[in-house]
Amino acid sequence: FHFDHIYAAEITAFDPQKVFEDLLPEKYFASYHWINAGVSADKESKLNLLRSIVSKFDEDDLIVVKLDIDYSDIEVPLAHQLLEDDSI
């Protein structure tokens, strides 16, 4: 399966050279968008990836979301947004 875009956010600081040279398989290089910042559950924040990225696609696009934040104060509200907001 080919992904046109893969967005990944990580709050832990990583050396971009290590991410793109050592960790990322070459087949994903052209599709990968890496955001080395924590995400936000605030619906108005550009760091809410559901608002700033996922909402930019349309109903014909297949979108796969792996929500794994390990901090329930952010993860639970984002899960509710996925379940309850028909616009995303």
Cβ-contact 65, 57 below 8 angstroms: no
pTM over 0.85: no
Q: What is the 3-state secondary structure (H, E, C) of 30-75?
A: CCEEEECCCCCCCCCCCCCHHHHCHHHCCCCCCCCCCCCCCCHHHH
The pLDDT tens digits of the residues spanning 18-47 come to 999 999 999 999 999 999 999 999 999 999
The whole-angstrom separation of Cα 87 and Cα 74 is: 19
Say what the pLDDT of residue 54 is. 80
Report whether pLDDT(1) > 80. no
